[in-house]
Amino acid sequence: MIEQMRGNLNTYIDECDNNSVGTSGGNEQYLKEEMCRSVLSIVNEFDNITAKELNEMKDEVISIKGSVTSSIHKCTSVHNDLSQFHEIVQKIGDHKQLCLIASIKCKHIIQQALTLLGKSGKAFDVQSNTKHNVRIPSDSGECFITGICVLPDGQVLIVDSKNQKVKLLNQQYQVVSHWDVNARPVDICLITPSEVAVAVNDHDSKIHEVQFITVNQGKLVPGRKFQLQHECTGIAHHYEDLFVTSGKELYKYTLNGKLICRLYQNRSSVNTVRKCAVSPTGDRLYITSYYKNKLLTLARDGTLLATYSDTSRGWPRGLHVTPAGQVLVCGYWSQTVLQVGWEGETAPHHPSLWDRNGVTTSWCSEWNSVYICCWVGSTMLRMWGTSMTQKESTSINIELAKQQHHFSHWTTSLKGTPFDSQPEVNQNSNSALNNIREASISAQLLSFSNC
């Protein structure tokens, strides 16, 4: 009996064990299936979300691409229209009736170009500054940097007036090449991405000239030059024109050295027309009146548009206009850089940027930096990294700006010409040919589309 009961118990225990194993296996399978279902659900949900986001991103990219394409088409259209008008204007000469027709016709297109160019009143914020010694062993004394120019690749050219040298700095601001000038170099401006023009002036030896220099593989190569019949204290370039100051006058030359006209003069004192700069569009000229503590804004024909004066910002010396149109003025004794608007008004702030006397400035759009030369002991180049509240104008807009200055010259000429401007067309042209030419130009103007 006992043996039978023991056997029954063992049998029951075995059955329980078997049932337990079977149940455990079923639970594991159930859990696996549940986990698979959960994972699949998560994956499907992720796929749905990813697909949705990808579609949204795709739509956004398409929208941006469409906007960019539209902007490019607008800029291209305005650029082409301005180019056509430029060709017509070259044929107009000083014919006031045709100038009037052309000014009416192109007014809308010029306004479109100005709208695309946008505002130029963005304020600078100083992010950092560094100092670099630019004295070299062959210098006879301390350096005095009176001009600076930055190439698109970041190389820097400076003119050392005291040592009569033009110096080339690499992107680490080390002097890698120099050229000895036969007199004092006083200013410098960019002509092409690899060529500069240097204003050379020596009152005692009566040397007044413009020297062109090319940068070739880290070397300075002097090129052509032309003589001036007056002193030269500053130089600026725009398109095919050179603007040269004499201390009392502002002159316009061609790149070949032909005097076009005298745009402005003030003989009331010395250094009334010290430095000059030109806006990206070419419709504004800026000059500094050194001892009178003034910045003057001129139209392209020399008409005075605005005057900014601030005696606390003593002796404005350096002057520069950025590619986006911001006007920067170095106060020699005030130790500040002043940002000024197109019409001569000050920017929202004008911070003091250095602890010594600022001499001159330049702007490198490639590196988004302001270069300021300072008189610091044995001479330093100080460079400020800057930022603006909004982005600079795009390169295509700047290209548009290059075209616009051709129109401002002849539209403003209707109000009167500068006191000694010289006509740029041959007054002895055959009248019959002139009549035919004028009729042809009139037909082109009247048939011009979208004006």
Q: What is the pLDDT of residues 175-233, one digit of tens each?
A: 999 999 999 999 999 999 999 999 999 988 899 999 999 999 999 999 999 999 999 99
pLDDT of residue 385: 53
Strand partners, 276: 287
Residue 8 pLDDT grade (very low, low, confident, very high; cuts 50, 70, 90): low
Environment class of residue 159 by beta-carbon count within 10 Å: exposed (0-12), middle (13-18) or buried (19+)?
A: buried
Q: Which of 9-13, 44-48, 80-84, 185-189 has the lowest mean pLDDT?
A: 9-13
pLDDT value, residue 430: 46
Please give the average per-residue pLDDT across 255-272, as a whole number: 91
> Whose CA is closest to 118, among 396, 321, 320, 328?
396
pLDDT above 50 for 377: no
Ranked by mean pLDDT, which of 202-206, 333-337, 351-355, 397-401 comes out on top? 202-206
Q: What is the mean pLDDT of the chain?
A: 72
Tell me the pLDDT tens digit for each residue of 278-319: 988 888 899 998 778 888 999 989 999 888 887 666 677 788
Structure confidence by residue, pLDDT tens digits, 30-39 = 777 777 777 7
Q: What is the largest CA-CA distance in the chain?
A: 148
pTM: 0.59
Per DSSP, the residues of 353-365 read --SSEEEEEEEET
Residue whose tokens read 């009729």:
439
**Smallest Cα–Cα separation from 85: which of 100, 106, 69, 67?**
106
Higher pLDDT, 161 or 52: 161
59-79 burial by CB neighbour count: b if 16+ within 10 A, else e?
eeeeeeeeeeeeeeeebeebb
Are 143 and 203 in contact by the 8 Å Cβ rule? The answer is no
Q: Residue 112: which H helix or E strand, with range? A: helix 96-117
Q: Span 124-392: which CATH code?
A: 2.120.10.30
Give mean pLDDT, residues 61-71: 75
Range of 124-138, 224-238, 426-440 with top mean pLDDT: 224-238
The one-character DSSP state at 377 is T
C-alpha distances out from residue 180 to 109, 160, 177, Å: 47, 10, 10
Phi, psi at 344, each rounded to 5°: 100, 0
Per-domain residue ranges of the chain = 1-118+394-451, 124-392
Decide if pLDDT at 153 tops 80: yes
